[in-house]
A and B are shown apart, each in its own frame.
Chain A
Amino acid sequence: MSTPMSPSASPSRAASLTLAWRFAAFHAEGFPVLPTLILLVLVLTAVFANVIAPSDPEIGTLGERFRPPAWQVGGSEKYLLGTDHLGRDVLSRLIFGARVSMVVGLTAVLFAGAVGTALGILSGFLGGWVDQVIMRVTDTWLALPALTFAIFLAAVVGPSEMNIVIILGAVYWTRYARVIRGEVLSLRERDFVRLAIVAGCSKWTIMRRHILPNVLNSAIVLGTLMLGVVIVTEAALSFLGVGVPPPKPAWGLMLADGKKGLMAGYWWLTVLPGSCIMLMVLSANLLGDWLRVKLDPQLRQL
């Protein structure tokens, strides 16, 4: 007698089925395809800026000032998106601007994340006076308006890309510290942390091996959400003249340079960098929102 069909006919087929199922679930949960694509394009643009940019972003031709985009009357094939008040190619500046935004945004988020996560873990796990000191400093920090605080710091240390990263990190670490501390407070009451104590682990080992890996998800989600905020702040600082110093092509700086031309009809000088900022921030936020739901330890019941 032949055996009837067994539920697990072949292990490889079962494996590919689960893979297909996972892929389907991935889509069903509203994975933000468009925002991810936009971010991907922006990242690639930033990485390969010097390859794709048609001309130097910092040197213009004074005879070619205020050229409109190629499709408008007076536009030229040479400057697809027109030129600015110094005759610099807007497209090249936008491309290199993506690099500035990405580098500043990512490093600032990493910096703020590293400081904030470390302090949050220390505060939540050690408790006592360490917790008190760190949390009171965090409260004070949060009471200051972020942008004003950043402008103040920028005015003190002077504008440079490096300084912007440090300033943004210094302004935004508190968000991490707060969220991570809350997670640690619940984590340290978990049985596996108690058992680590019973096993003889030192506090340092417990924080490194048991607490940190379990808060990393939250830190990543927060980082993605913070990326948008940090990029907007960087643009705002550049716009106000205390961010990335002038010859560099930063989007905020382009906005500031172009705003005088708005009344003269030079729309491409403001609308284009503005749209770039909006696209990047919106994409980062949508992706972050999705990640938050996807990786939320409460929702996943970890």
Chain B
Amino acid sequence: MTLLEVDNLVKHFPVKGGFFTGGGVVRAVDGVSFRIEAGRTVGVVGESGCGKTTTAKVVLGLETPTSGTLRFEGADLQTLDAAGRRRYRRSVQAVFQDPFASLNPRMRVGAIITEPLVVHEQLARGEARERALRLLDVVSLPERSIDLFPHEFSGGQRQRIAIARALALEPKLIVLDEPVSALDVSIRAQILNLLRDLQARLGLAYLFITHDLAAVAYMSHTVAVMYLGKLVEFGPARAVATAPQHPYTRALFAAALPSHPDERREDVTLVGEVPSPLAPPPGCRFHTRCPVVMERCAREEPPLVHTDGRLVACHLYSPTPGVGPWQPQRAAPGSLTSPSFTTGGAP
């Protein structure tokens, strides 16, 4: 069952012009579509500034989309009445990146965890305490935590508190905005395992936003790769991680640490910076840094097309006759000569 359907989401931020420079718009998210199935995880990866956090904020209702529709369980969010919106708020919760900023330093853990419950259900004090204890148990924190303040916990423990709070309303979808990026590497696996465990037990759906490729491959059922506000590749996590198709995805996964030191990786190095989302390049947004750029890339924007069981937005896979899949002989600068690139087959 489709839980959340995001269709052609656009979010532009107007920028005030200075005295000499005109104003403009930051195209943070520019036409992104994806869907989240109940009980599944969609991972969103990309560099900073690619629009993944903005997407999360729109899903959470913290930002209103410039255009595009969000449908939750079939109902368009913009046409929802007050009761419907409240139901949506209950169903979608969040865990943020910085566990030091996401808990109010002046509230006790018990109050933090039960705040969503108190807002939505007007619980009695005793009952709220009981629920808080149960939630602490779910995230494996000791009972006495309930009367402590956030500063008495470590980063990993705080993230557990944040997760307990997100679970309080028994939501259907949790937006995880870089939930482990601020944690020590040794703690990350614990939190990720906790999240997977909770998904299996409670049937939660996750929108998992990260730049940690190993984490996204481990956590997600489906992966969406974003670049400058656009979706460049969208498909099953395993396929995307093991046989990326879009040149950007390939570069991204080539840059990730291999799981074994002997593992051979193709060496794809991207040069330059991400262009400003104030003035994204015409055509394919990746063409300024693409190692296999073609003349056509600067003119035409590649549509998302089905290739090898996934969606890819690249002219290499465009169905236009005569341009066909890219051949190594036509290689532009760069050393993208791995055979899997041409065959595109998943192992």
A60 to chain B, nearest CB (A): 53
The reply to whether B101 and A214 form a contact with Cβ atoms under 8 Å apart is no
Sample of 9 further A-B pairs with CB below 8 A, known A191-B96, A198-B89, A198-B94: A192-B102, A195-B102, A197-B61, A199-B119, A200-B116, A200-B119, A201-B119, A209-B104, A302-B105
Which of A191, A196, A214 neighbours the largest number of chain B CB atoms within 10 Å of its CB?
A191
Interface string of A243-273 (1 = CB under 8 A from B): 0000000000000000000000000000000
> For residue B96, which residues in chain A have a CB less than 8 angstroms away from its CB?
191, 194-195
A200 to B62, CA, bound (A): 11
> For residue B165, which residues in chain A have a CB less than 8 angstroms away from its CB?
195, 199
Determine if B75 is an interface residue (Cβ-Cβ < 8 Å).
no
* CB contact list, B285-338 vs A, under 8 A: none
A interface residues, how many (CB within 8 angstroms): 17
The reply to whether B105 and A214 form a contact with Cβ atoms under 8 Å apart is yes
> For residue B102, which residues in chain A have a CB less than 8 angstroms away from its CB?
191-192, 195
The reply to whether A213 and B90 form a contact with Cβ atoms under 8 Å apart is no
> For residue A200, which residues in chain B have a CB less than 8 angstroms away from its CB?
86, 89-90, 116, 119-120
A228 to chain B, nearest CB (A): 28
* CB contact list, A178-201 vs B, under 8 A: 190-192, 194-201
A143 to B296, CA, bound (A): 62
The reply to whether B119 and A192 form a contact with Cβ atoms under 8 Å apart is no
Instruction: List 5 interface pairs A-B (beta carbons < 8 Å), by A numbering.
Output: A191-B102, A192-B101, A194-B94, A199-B165, A200-B89
> For residue B201, which residues in chain A have a CB less than 8 angstroms away from its CB?
none
Closest to A189 in B: B101
Determine if B60 is an interface residue (Cβ-Cβ < 8 Å).
yes
Closest to B95 in A: A195
The reply to whether B104 and A198 form a contact with Cβ atoms under 8 Å apart is no
* CB contact list, B57-90 vs A, under 8 A: 60-62, 86, 89-90
Query: Which of these, B90, B93, B104, contacts A192 with CB under 8 Å?
Result: B104
Determine if B106 is an interface residue (Cβ-Cβ < 8 Å).
yes
Determine if B139 is an interface residue (Cβ-Cβ < 8 Å).
no
A298 to B147, CA, bound (A): 25
Determine if B5 is an interface residue (Cβ-Cβ < 8 Å).
no
A191 to B53, CA, bound (A): 13
Determine if B232 is an interface residue (Cβ-Cβ < 8 Å).
no
> For residue B212, which residues in chain A have a CB less than 8 angstroms away from its CB?
none
A3 to B107, CA, bound (A): 41
A81 to B326, CA, bound (A): 102
Interface string of A291-302 (1 = CB under 8 A from B): 000000000001
A98 to B96, CA, bound (A): 52
> For residue B106, which residues in chain A have a CB less than 8 angstroms away from its CB?
213-214
Determine if A210 is an interface residue (Cβ-Cβ < 8 Å).
yes
The reply to whether B101 and A205 form a contact with Cβ atoms under 8 Å apart is no
> For residue A191, which residues in chain B have a CB less than 8 angstroms away from its CB?
96-98, 101-102
Which of A190, A192, A201, A302 neighbours the largest number of chain B CB atoms within 10 Å of its CB?
A192
A194 to B107, CA, bound (A): 15
> For residue A192, which residues in chain B have a CB less than 8 angstroms away from its CB?
101-104
> For residue B120, which residues in chain A have a CB less than 8 angstroms away from its CB?
200
* CB contact list, B118-136 vs A, under 8 A: 119-120
A192 to B61, CA, bound (A): 15
Determine if B47 is an interface residue (Cβ-Cβ < 8 Å).
no
Determine if B7 is an interface residue (Cβ-Cβ < 8 Å).
no
The reply to whether B98 and A199 form a contact with Cβ atoms under 8 Å apart is no
| SS of A interface (majority) | helix
Determine if B115 is an interface residue (Cβ-Cβ < 8 Å).
yes
B interface residues, how many (CB within 8 angstroms): 27
B202 to chain A, nearest CB (A): 18
Closest to B116 in A: A199
The reply to whether A205 and B103 form a contact with Cβ atoms under 8 Å apart is no
Q: Which 4 A-B pairs have the closest CB atoms?
A: A191-B102, A199-B116, A213-B106, A191-B101
B195 to chain A, nearest CB (A): 17
Which of B96, B104, B115, B169 neighbours the largest number of chain A CB atoms within 10 Å of its CB?
B104
> For residue B115, which residues in chain A have a CB less than 8 angstroms away from its CB?
196, 199, 201, 209
> For residue B86, which residues in chain A have a CB less than 8 angstroms away from its CB?
200
* CB contact list, B210-249 vs A, under 8 A: none
Closest to B104 in A: A192
The reply to whether B60 and A198 form a contact with Cβ atoms under 8 Å apart is yes
A198 to B292, CA, bound (A): 43
A158 to B102, CA, bound (A): 51
B103 to chain A, nearest CB (A): 6
Closest to A212 in B: B106
> For residue B116, which residues in chain A have a CB less than 8 angstroms away from its CB?
199-200
Closest to A192 in B: B104
Interface string of A194-233 (1 = CB under 8 A from B): 1111111100010001100110000000000000000000
> For residue A194, which residues in chain B have a CB less than 8 angstroms away from its CB?
60, 62, 94, 96
The reply to whether A205 and B61 form a contact with Cβ atoms under 8 Å apart is no
Closest to B99 in A: A191
A205 to B162, CA, bound (A): 19
Closest to A199 in B: B116
A200 to B120, CA, bound (A): 7
B241 to chain A, nearest CB (A): 29
A227 to chain B, nearest CB (A): 24
Closest to B168 in A: A199
A195 to B103, CA, bound (A): 9
A201 to chain B, nearest CB (A): 5
> For residue B60, which residues in chain A have a CB less than 8 angstroms away from its CB?
194, 198
A190 to B97, CA, bound (A): 11
The reply to whether B119 and A197 form a contact with Cβ atoms under 8 Å apart is no
Query: Which of these, A190, A198, A214, contacts B61 with CB under 8 Å?
Result: A198
> For residue A198, which residues in chain B have a CB less than 8 angstroms away from its CB?
60-62, 89, 92-94
A214 to B165, CA, bound (A): 20
B150 to chain A, nearest CB (A): 9
> For residue A196, which residues in chain B have a CB less than 8 angstroms away from its CB?
104, 115
A256 to chain B, nearest CB (A): 46
